Amino acid sequence: MNQIERVAIVGGNHGNELTGVHLVKMFQQYPNLINRSSFETLALLGNLKAIEAGKRYIDKDLNRCFTNQGLQNPQLSSYEDTRAKAILQILQPQNQPSVDVIVDLHSTTANMGLSLIFCDLHPFLLRLGAYLSSINPMVKIFINQESREGGFLRSLCELGFVIEVGAVAQNILNAELFHQTEQLIYAILDYFEGCNQGNIPQINSTLTLTLYQYIGTIDYPRSDRGEIQAMIHPQLQFRDYQPLNPGDPMFVTFEGKDIFYEGASTVYPIFINEAAYYEKGIAMYLTQKQQQVV
């Protein structure tokens, strides 16, 4: 692995996710908190107008605007498309080194705890995930290989990833999750510092890492007109990363009728009942639980 020279910590890609917004503001005010001797750390706010308005976005989801096609299309002129191009110039300036790592801070209304979301099984990121989960069992690793093509900010560099924390309501600060995220960021920066200095933080030489691999998404049951006909079942609510077995209740209709999971094998749902995903037609993500030696 080459030296890490520039790290970007980005908060507020979604303007109503206040954990990342206020961590970045704190880091901008007190840069010594994230300064390390062997690399530069940039703290950047994402969707400035949405942060000011207390909304997820103004015209469209900024965290879907980082496709190559969109970034190279001058005809796209929404606020988020324009902001995505500006962020690209900050993170990948012409004739200057691009950032080596993007740490994209998000919060969720789902009970995700401290989740790291990777685009792929990059060995460096897997070792980072193994180290972080070894020092904090709350850390979970979600691999979504489909997301590299989804226009996410983290796809702008090879070592881009998301920290997703929850459950916390939109436009709300949760002090416990705020400080847990803060400490996780410091551990990540210290890990990078150790790698640069040839002193990689020690974990067991053959550590088995638990991964949750993306399978797909499930929408709410809907009518022919697209109206939601059922809710997340109470037995499933807040059970992110817990097993959902064939025959387990998944939804309940407004009349009280249970709808059961009909898959052939056990899955592990995450992002269960995420508020921002109602408009995207997503009730939850389904994952497979896997073990990987790193």
Catalogue all structural domains in the chain, each as residue range(s) with its CATH number.
6-203 (3.40.630.10), 210-293 (2.20.25.160)
Asked whether the predicted pLDDT for residue 207 surpasses 80, the reply is: no
Give the per-residue pLDDT at 203. Answer: 63
Determine which of 87-96, 139-148, 166-175 has the lowest per-residue pLDDT on average.
Answer: 139-148
CB-count burial class (<10 Å; 0-12, 13-18, 19+) for 97: exposed
Handedness of CA 111, 116, 118, 122 (dihedral sign): negative
Percent of residues in the chain assigned helix, strand, coil, to nearest 5: 30, 25, 45
Task: Convert the pLDDT of each residue in 108-133 to its tens digit.
Answer: 999 999 999 999 999 999 999 999 99
Percent of the chain with pLDDT over 70: 98
Long-range contacts of 61-70 (CB under 8 A, 24+ apart): 61/14, 62/13, 62/14, 62/153, 63/13, 63/14, 63/104, 63/151, 63/152, 63/153, 64/150, 64/151, 64/152, 65/151, 66/151, 66/152, 66/153, 66/155, 66/156, 67/149, 67/150, 67/151, 70/151
Mean pLDDT of the chain: 95
Give the per-residue pLDDT at 95. Answer: 87
Q: Kindly report the pTM of this predicted structure.
A: 0.96
Query: Do the Cβ atoms of 207 and 293 come closer than 8 Å?
Result: yes
Give the per-residue pLDDT at 44. Answer: 98
Rounded CA-CA distance 235/216 in Å is 21
Cβ contacts of 132 within 8 Å, gap of 6 or more: 116, 139, 184, 187, 188, 191
Rounded CA-CA distance 217/237 in Å is 16
Task: Convert the pLDDT of each residue in 68-106 to its tens digit.
Answer: 999 999 999 999 999 999 999 999 998 888 999 999 999
> Which is higher by pLDDT, 203 or 254?
254
Of the candidates 171, 174, 181, the residue with the CA atom closest to the CA atom of residue 16: 171
Of the candidates 142, 144, 158, 133, the residue with the CA atom closest to the CA atom of residue 1: 158
